[in-house]
Amino acid sequence: MKYALFTGCAAKGACPELYQSAVKVAQILGIELEELKSAACCGAGVMKEGDPDLSLAINARTFAQAEEKGLPVMTICGTCQGVLSSANKNLKEDVPTRERINAMLAPDGIAYRGTTEVKHLLWVLIQDVGLDKLRHAVKRSLAGLRVAPFYGCYILRPSKDLGFDDPNDPTSLEKLITALGGERIDYSGRIKCCGFPLILEKESMALAMGGGNTAEAKREGADCMVTPCPLCHMSLDIYQERAERQLGERLDMPIFHLPQLVGLALGLSEKDLGLSHHLVSVDAALRKLGPQT
């Protein structure tokens, strides 16, 4: 199990705890990683708004780097996964587009042949590591912890490009939570939008989305939420206090990155998982867990 790791910008910027916990968890589970150090930003759907071909070319360059190593790509960001899945599908299936993009890359001696696979850590955990192995690796069961899964848009939609989970009724996070011993919370917000793309432009709308979904999870009894996307994490964690003010309601909801929740169950320490980086304290959720065995 070896992958070329595409970290994305957030894990190297505002969410260092994501990078750190993903690397630790991969190590324990035997997922070998080779970081794509010279890969550029996926564009987060924003570059595509400005210039679709430029965005495709930059991503084709990344795919070509992995192709050269002969490795599939692993992402740790739902937004990166969505953008890369769409770009890759386009480049693989639409030959004239691939040729047009390769012509842009040719002066630097880069060509993408269309053979790279791109997978999110969540999919790797379920498909390649497997829930059984994960279950056996648990050192500190999440029993008693009520976890609300929050997928975020890009890892689910457009489903014709992603093709892993059912976008209306996804199950992978739920299966994972259960395998780690936790209790999963069911609520309608689990597949909705965190609001992040509007957070710098129209904060009130973004907070209504992120805060609204968090409030629903709380009403349904969640002790914490888990997300495979650092942009969702920023929206739900960093902006939670502002959402509370707008909603006029206490939320106090710890938000975990996917590898942090897995890492907790694998017995990694708070320090290993970088939990002190969060703006909302995760202590209340940790107190629900049993002692480490």
Partner 1 sequence: MRATFAIQKFNPEIDARPHLEEYRLDVAWRGNTVLDALFQIKHQLDGSLTFRASCRSAICGSCPMVINGRERLACQTLIADEIDRSGRIEVKPLRQLRVVKDLVVEMDPFWSKVNAITPWLTPKREAAFVRHARGEIGEVMIPQNVHQTFYNVDACILCGACVSACNSLDVSPGFLGPAALAKAYRFVADPREGERRERLERLTREDGIWDCVRCNFCVEVCPKDVQPMEAIIRLRREAIREGLTDHPGATHITAFMDIVRREGRLNEARMPLAMVWPNLFRMLKILPLGLKMFVKGKVPSFFQRPIKGIREIRRLFRLRETFK
Output the smallest distance, CB 78 to partner 1, in A: 12
Please name which of 40, 69, 77, 91 lies closest in space to residue 231, comparing C-alpha atoms.
77
281 is a contact residue toward partner 1 (CB under 8 A): no
Please report which helix (H) or strand (E) contains residue 95, including its range: helix 95-105
Strands of the sheet containing 183-184, edge to edge, are 183-184, 146-149, 224-227, 255-257
| Segment lying near partner 1 (by CB under 8 A), choices 13-21, 132-140, 220-228, 284-292 | 13-21
- Reading the block at residue 203, the tokens are 């904060």
14 is a contact residue toward partner 1 (CB under 8 A): yes
- Reading the block at residue 220, the tokens are 């349904």
| Segment lying near partner 1 (by CB under 8 A), choices 45-53, 70-78, 119-127, 221-229 | 45-53
- Reading the block at residue 275, the tokens are 């939990």
Q: Pick between residue 95 and residue 106 the one whose CB is nearest to partner 1.
A: 106
CA distance 186 to 203: 27
CA distance 144 to 223: 9
23 is a contact residue toward partner 1 (CB under 8 A): no
CA distance 4 to 116: 10
Q: Pick between residue 182 and residue 195 the one whose CB is nearest to partner 1.
A: 195
| Interface with partner 1 (CB under 8 A), residue from 198, 215, 224, 236 | 198
| Interface with partner 1 (CB under 8 A), residue from 96, 108, 132, 271 | 108
Q: Within 13 Å and on the Cβ side, how many CA atoms surround 122? A: 30
219 is a contact residue toward partner 1 (CB under 8 A): no
CA distance 44 to 81: 9
Q: Pick between residue 51 and residue 252 the one whose CB is nearest to partner 1.
A: 51
45 is a contact residue toward partner 1 (CB under 8 A): yes
29 is a contact residue toward partner 1 (CB under 8 A): no
| Segment lying near partner 1 (by CB under 8 A), choices 48-56, 92-100, 119-127, 252-260 | 48-56
Largest CA distance in the chain: 58
Q: DSSP assignment of 47-88, as one string?
A: HHHH-HHHHHHHHHHHHHHHHHHT--EEES-HHHHHHHHHHH
Amino acid at site 283: D
| Interface with partner 1 (CB under 8 A), residue from 61, 119, 120, 190 | 61
Q: ∠ CA(265), CA(117), CA(125), 5° rounding?
A: 10
Q: Pick between residue 69 and residue 242 the one whose CB is nearest to partner 1.
A: 242
Q: Pick between residue 98 and residue 278 the one whose CB is nearest to partner 1.
A: 278
Output the smallest distance, CB 176 to partner 1, in A: 21
Rule CB under 8 A: which of 137-156 touch partner 1? 153-154
Q: Pick between residue 243 and residue 262 the one whose CB is nearest to partner 1.
A: 243
As beta bridge partners, residue 278 has none
Task: Give the position of tokens 């650092």.
Answer: 230
Residues within the interface to partner 1 (CB under 8 A): 9-10, 12-16, 37-41, 43-51, 53-54, 57-58, 61, 82, 104-105, 107-108, 110, 153-154, 157-159, 166-169, 192-193, 195, 197-198, 200-202, 205-206, 208-209, 212, 238-239, 242, 276-279
